Amino acid sequence: MADHDAPVWFITGCSSGFGRELVKQVLARGWKVVATARDPAKMADLVQGFEEQALALPLDVRDAAQVEQAVARTLERFERIDVLVNNAGYGYQSSVEEGEDGAIRAMFETNVFGLAGLIRRVLPVMRAQRSGFVVNFSSMAGIAGNPGTGYYAATKFAVEGLSDALAKEVADLGIKVLLVEPGPFRTEFRTAVQREESRIADYEATVGARLRAISHPSTAPGNPIKAAQAVLAAVTADRPPARLLLGRLALQNARDKLASMQADFAAWEAVTLGADDR
């Protein structure tokens, strides 16, 4: 993060959930923040009393003109951007077979293309500063897909790959990249998820059973306040991680995926190596 005392954070999706809690934590530390959301009225209480530190702006990350305007207003007000947090996004539930094309593409526009567009706009600022931190919210779904959320997982797998590549591209420029991979948290995320009701009985034991199991966000173990604190700890660490898993279920999900991959690698090693000419 920046060396000066009041780094400037630019955070998307601040009307609720992780984004909202991050704004509170940043302001509590005396830092500066640009809080963005499609409806800035939902952030009015967040910035009230912090007029010198905070700026609330409308932003739909799919709208290139709004992205340009939001970044320009940030630079006009604070002259720099030290931390970009790409938190805006939403989910979609259906079997892969029953996914609706328009809804799938709309989710990709926000979760992937909107995120990438904002990164492209902010990177020239960070390159000129020779410092900066890009924080991309992924999910435990970006590590392993599960029945009923395959298309959402696909967007988060895209964010993971993009972030891996970006981290290597900007490592020599003083810019760092962090992937945040939460498990289930008590936020409004699940209530805002778009869902297609399954009509194919063959998926009842997989898609149907899982979607029923995850349909109660109030029982999720994750605390969004603690999640925001964890993100700040990672960003301010002397040696920040490339990935930050949040919650026991996210950690277990990642370990199970790694164990499954390693088992396949070992079992099929001879076949794998035999694919080379030498």
* DSSP secondary structure code for residue 103 in this structure: H
Q: Which residues are catalytic?
A: 138, 152, 156
The whole-angstrom separation of Cα 149 and Cα 139 is 12
**Domain limits, the chain:** 8-249
Measured CA distances, 209 to 142, 195, 205 (Å): 21, 14, 5
Average pLDDT of every residue of the chain: 93
pLDDT tens digit sequence for 3-38? 467 999 999 999 989 999 999 999 999 999 999 999
- Predicted pLDDT of residue 190: 58
- The answer, yes or no, to whether residue 76 has pLDDT greater than 70, is yes
Residues 6+ apart with CB under 8 A from 185: 17, 18, 220, 222, 223, 224, 227, 246, 247
Where does 8-249 sit in CATH, by number?
Answer: 3.40.50.720
- Predicted pLDDT of residue 189: 58
- Is residue 21 a contact partner of residue 225, using CB atoms and an 8 Å limit? yes
- Predicted pLDDT of residue 199: 85
The vertex-138 CA angle with 132 and 141, nearest 5°, equals: 165
pLDDT tens digit sequence for 221-243? 888 999 999 999 999 999 999 99
The whole-angstrom separation of Cα 183 and Cα 248 is 8
3-state secondary structure of 186: coil
What share of the chain has pLDDT > 70, as a percent?
A: 95
Structure tokens at 83: 């931390």
**pTM of the predicted model, to two decimals?**
0.94
Burial class (CB in 10 A: 0-12, 13-18, 19+), 167: middle
Give the count of beta carbons closer than 10 Å to the beta carbon of residue 156: 25
CA-based end-to-end distance of the chain: 45
The whole-angstrom separation of Cα 145 and Cα 20 is 27
pLDDT tens digit sequence for 165-207? 999 999 999 999 999 999 987 766 555 678 887 789 999 999 9
